[in-house]
Amino acid sequence: MAYNCSAMQLEKLGFPFGNKGYLGNQMRDYSGEKTVTGLLNSLAKGFLSATGLIWIFNVVSLINNGDAWLGLLYLLILFIPISGLICLRLKKTSHQPMPDDSRKWRHLLFSFQGVALAFWMFDLVTTFYAINITGLAVELNPLGWPLGILGAFAFYGPTLIFSYVLLFKIKEGIAFYASIPLTLVTLGMGTMNLLAGAQNFQVFVDTAVLGTALRYGFLVLILMINLAVPFILRKALAQPKAALS
């Protein structure tokens, strides 16, 4: 059954009427690529992908050069989100339409902002351990620690906003191409944070040792979580959704 809305009804719903092209653009904004959910999804994909790679690097470093028990626990912790994602993928049977090429590339470029943020977060966490916990390192930034965080934030904050504006606010093709060097610069800055974080993590590898009394307790706990997460997800996904009244 079709339902026709008048101009007055459209205006009450918040759609500006009178310019057909502008109305169409506004409707695409509400249902298309510029929704907050879609942007956060792209940012999260980049962040989680980079975090997974960093975590694998940590596992290899601990097993080869540090406490192998910590490396084993890190590896088992990595299996927790992996098992959950596998359950969700197997349960997902609906096929969503593939986005157009322009939208796909825009979201891909925006996801690299999440990658850079993950590298920066890795640097922050490892710096905190190396300076505040062990006291074996010093901050090279002239601002010192933790004020040095503000310098990186002054870069990543505006870069994230500019990337969003170029990719999703400006429709011209030149804006898309302008976002490419901006993304490369962001990845370059993120790579510097990644290298600094890797150096800081070496302090953790050299100093962190899991006590004998805690090894088996943590091992059993993480194994139980690995077994419980898929079970809980299967139970939750198997429950039928409540019908709308």
For 70-101, what is each residue's pLDDT tens digit? 999 999 888 888 877 777 677 665 555 555 67
| Residue 69 half-sphere exposure toward CB, CA atoms < 13 A | 13
Choose between 48 and 2: higher pLDDT. Answer: 48
Q: For residue 30, is it within any domain? A: no
pLDDT, residue 25, reads 44
Q: How far apart are CA 21 and CA 35, in angstroms?
A: 19
Is the pLDDT assigned to residue 190 strictly greater than 80? yes
Residues contacting 71, CB < 8 A, separation 6+: 58, 59, 60, 61, 62, 63
Model confidence at 30, pLDDT cuts 50, 70, 90, reads: very low
Range of the domain at 161: 36-65+100-211
Q: For residue 125, is it within any domain? A: yes
Is the pLDDT assigned to residue 245 strictly greater than 50? no
pLDDT, residue 104, reads 86
| Token duo for residue 221 | 């706990």
Using a pLDDT cut of 90, give the percent of the chain over it: 29
Q: For residue 130, is it within any domain? A: yes
Q: For residue 195, is it within any domain? A: yes
Q: What is the pLDDT of residues 117-151, one digit of tens each?
A: 999 999 999 999 888 888 877 777 777 787 878 88
Helices (H), 13-35: 20-31
Using a pLDDT cut of 70, give the percent of the chain over it: 78
Give just the sign of the alpha carbon dihedral 129, 132, 135, 141: positive
Is the pLDDT assigned to residue 19 strictly greater than 50? no
Q: For residue 166, is it within any domain? A: yes
Q: How far apart are CA 162 and CA 179, in angstroms?
A: 8
Residues contacting 146, CB < 8 A, separation 6+: 128
Q: Are 169 and 96 in contact (CB under 8 A)?
A: no
Q: What is the mean pLDDT of residues 145-169?
A: 88
Instruction: Work out how many domains the chain is built from and give that number.
Output: 1
Q: For residue 133, is it within any domain? A: yes
Q: What is the mean pLDDT of residues 228-240?
A: 75
Q: For residue 117, is it within any domain? A: yes
Q: What is the mean pLDDT of residues 40-55?
A: 90
Q: For residue 29, is it within any domain? A: no
pTM: 0.74
Q: How far apart are CA 82 and CA 226, in angstroms?
A: 9
| Token duo for residue 192 | 């510097």
Residue 240's region, left for phi above 0, alpha for psi from -120 to 50, else beta, is beta
Query: Distances in Å between the alpha carbon of 34 and those of 140, 149, 172?
Result: 39, 29, 15
